[in-house]
Amino acid sequence: MEIKLYDYKILFIICFLLITSTAHSQNTLGATLNTDNSFIGYTLLSPNSPLLPSKTFLINNCGEIVNEWSSNYKAWGVDYITNNGDLYSAHVDNKSTLNIRGNTGRIEKKDWNNNLIWGYTFSDTDFSFHHDYLPLPNGNIILVVAYRKTEQEAIAIGRDPSTLDEGELYDERIIEIKPIGNDDIEIVWEWRLWDHLIQDFDSSKSNFGTISDHPELLDVNFTGNSNSDADWLHISSIDYNNQLDQILFSSPRLSEFYVIDHSTTTAEAATSSGGNSGKGGDILYRWGNPQIYDRGGNDDQKLYGQHTVHWIPTGLQDEGKFMLFNNGSGRDFSSVDIINPPVDQNGNYTITNATPFLPSEPDWSYSNESNPIDFFSPLISSAYRLENGNILITEGTKSKIFEINAQKEIVWEYISPYRNDVILSQGDTNTGAAASWIFRGKRYSYDYSAFIGKDLTPTGYIEQNPVPANCTLFNTLSVEEFDLDTSFAIYPNPSNDIINITNRKSLDYEVELFSFNGQKITLKLDKNSLDLSTLTSGIYLLRINTENDSLIKKVVKR
């Protein structure tokens, strides 16, 4: 049997790619639920524990560790695996005196084997990288950086001095950096919110105007629910759309997210002209709380302290729409929402005079309909669309990651065993204030290019005293379910000893052999033949890796 990994039609694959049986386990930690409706892949998470060593884990659907990374700095929980298997991770190395919860400061890049490739701390007394960043397709990184503005500077931009409780105000910037060497950067692009503020408090200032006439600018005096902190915006997420060359960022303090043009120069980004949009660095689209630009009231607010706002990637269900975790601060329940922005035939976001940006309601939403408060994380958290249409949700303050299907049924669930100072044993519970949070969990497909040629043999579990029998890995496929790949052929199969490989297209390739339960076999393998004589009888999996593809062939040793 042959399975081509990059065939999107294939929903399940066997063994080391971790096809799971329906498993309603009795586990209290780790993989507490695992069904065959779950998307098969590997989940990346960094439990945020202040007292335990910093760890980032990649686990399979049974909660088994297939790789892990560590750092000398505390993990923050915002991690990305590149297409070649490197890990970007955020860490706490705050050297500023800014009063920002989530003031991380540092980004690191490590290879699959945890060797540090590059690391940089973007933080000093009056500024700091915080919360979120994103590696770009060109190898650069965009990140959110807060800069201190003095009380005098805030008043000069039109801020009401009575709302400066801390005697200062923070300017948020989006900065694009190019990593240099193993510990340096070059700033290649910058956008400053300070250049795109409006106010109707002080007519003597140059940015005085009617707020409702300028939805492309942010009211520097909107304080919402008495938000007079210096950290009045608290930008917590950032995303990039390569097709549109646009950046999205989100303010949970203001319960609103924003889209800006990235095609500008840094000089243009400080103005209202230039770039693909012709609008420079002004806001192209915003959503969640139209009362901020005087085109709505309290009843029109739709977001409540949201996190991890992002575009749904091309190729997935609802591609091009926005997905977010709507935390529910102020309404006391969370939801996952999908927003479909209004776009004209030229790709521009549309808005009419005196009305807010549409839509008036989310395109789709998930919450606990029977008891809303049961699904509630007032801080952090995330939600991502998966390739099979399911959604992976991180309920961050409950240390929980779970997956729902199209019917909004939970088909997979994982509870982190981390607490502040101990890793719990199976049978314990991880609830309450002492539970260590998870900012974001991300699921990568089993056929993601990062995993080609990597050893994904499980090495154990995060929790202590695990119960492996509560999650079973097995093969549910038959030959009839797949079209045979024409590039390679194996014969004879079954075989007592030698199996030959025919490479019909003269492709460059390497081979790996795994047992049926996913264990990589240390065996000298020849490209053109396999000697199985030393193996016990049974089913084995041969993975053939080419430059751009991978496929699995089942072989039987008699």
Determine the structural domain holding residue 548 and report its residue range.
479-557
Contact 129, 145 (CB under 8 A): yes
CATH code where residue 505 lies: 2.60.40.1270
pLDDT in tens, 195-228: 999 999 999 999 999 999 999 999 999 987 667 8
Q: Which residue reads 């005085």 in tokens?
A: 208
pLDDT in tens, 263-318: 999 999 999 999 999 999 999 999 999 999 999 999 999 999 999 999 999 999 99
- Per-residue pLDDT averaged across 522-537, rounded? 79
Which of the pair, 38 or 488, is modelled with greater confidence?
38
Are 157 and 219 part of one and the same domain? yes
Are 390 and 518 part of one and the same domain? no
Task: Say how many domains are in the chain.
Answer: 2
Q: DSSP per residue over 216-267, as a string?
A: TSEETT--TTT--SS-SS---EEEEETTTTEEEEEETTTTEEEEEESSS-HH
Are 335 and 426 part of one and the same domain? yes
Is 524's pLDDT higher than 50?
Answer: yes
Q: In angstroms, what is the C-alpha Rg of the chain?
A: 25
Are 532 and 465 part of one and the same domain? no
In a domain, 3, yes or no: no
Instruction: Say how far apart CA 160 and CA 409 lie, in whole Å.
Output: 48
Q: Report the length, in residues, of the chain.
A: 558
Are 497 and 418 part of one and the same domain? no
Residue from 84, 57, 19 nearest 446 by CA: 19
Are 52 and 137 part of one and the same domain? yes
Residue 470 — φ and ψ, nearest 5°? Answer: -80, 0
Q: Which residue among 470, 490, 522 closes a domain?
A: 470
**3-class DSSP state for residue 196?**
helix
pLDDT in tens, 368-385: 999 999 999 999 999 999
The pLDDT, as a whole number, for residue 540 is 79
Is 347's pLDDT higher than 90?
Answer: no
- By percentage, how much of the chain surpasses pLDDT 90? 70
pLDDT in tens, 311-330: 999 999 999 999 999 999 99
Q: Which residue reads 């939600």 in tokens?
A: 383
Are 527 and 390 part of one and the same domain? no
Q: Which residue among 470, 488, 518 closes a domain?
A: 470
Average pLDDT, the chain: 89
Using 50, 70 and 90 to split pLDDT, how confident is the model at 129?
very high
Cis peptide preceding 492, ω within 30 of 0:
yes
Are 542 and 428 part of one and the same domain? no
Q: Which residue among 451, 470, 489 closes a domain?
A: 470
Are 172 and 276 part of one and the same domain? yes
Are 118 and 220 part of one and the same domain? yes
Instruction: Say how far apart CA 237 and CA 230 lie, in whole Å.
Output: 18
In a domain, 426, yes or no: yes
The pLDDT, as a whole number, for residue 89 is 98
Are 496 and 362 part of one and the same domain? no
In a domain, 375, yes or no: yes
| Cα dihedral 364, 366, 372, 374 in deg (nearest 10) | -160
Instruction: Please tell me the least confidently modeled range out of 194-203, 358-367, 484-493.
Output: 484-493
pLDDT in tens, 57-87: 999 999 999 999 999 999 999 999 999 999 9
Using 50, 70 and 90 to split pLDDT, how confident is the model at 516?
low
* The two three-digit tokens of residue 352, written as one number: 């009419």
pLDDT in tens, 245-256: 999 999 999 999
Instruction: Please tell me the least confidently modeled range out of 319-333, 363-377, 455-469.
Output: 455-469
In a domain, 380, yes or no: yes
In a domain, 8, yes or no: no
Distance from first CA to last CA of the chain, Å, rounded? 16
In a domain, 355, yes or no: yes
Is 397's pLDDT higher than 80?
Answer: yes
Are 500 and 439 part of one and the same domain? no
pTM of the model: 0.83
Per-residue CA distances from 310 to 237, 338, 383 (Å): 8, 10, 9
Cis peptide preceding 359, ω within 30 of 0:
yes
In a domain, 1, yes or no: no
The pLDDT, as a whole number, for residue 527 is 67
CATH code where residue 457 lies: 2.120.10.30
In a domain, 11, yes or no: no
Put the strands of the sheet holding 2-4 in their side by side order: 2-4, 550-557, 538-546, 509-515
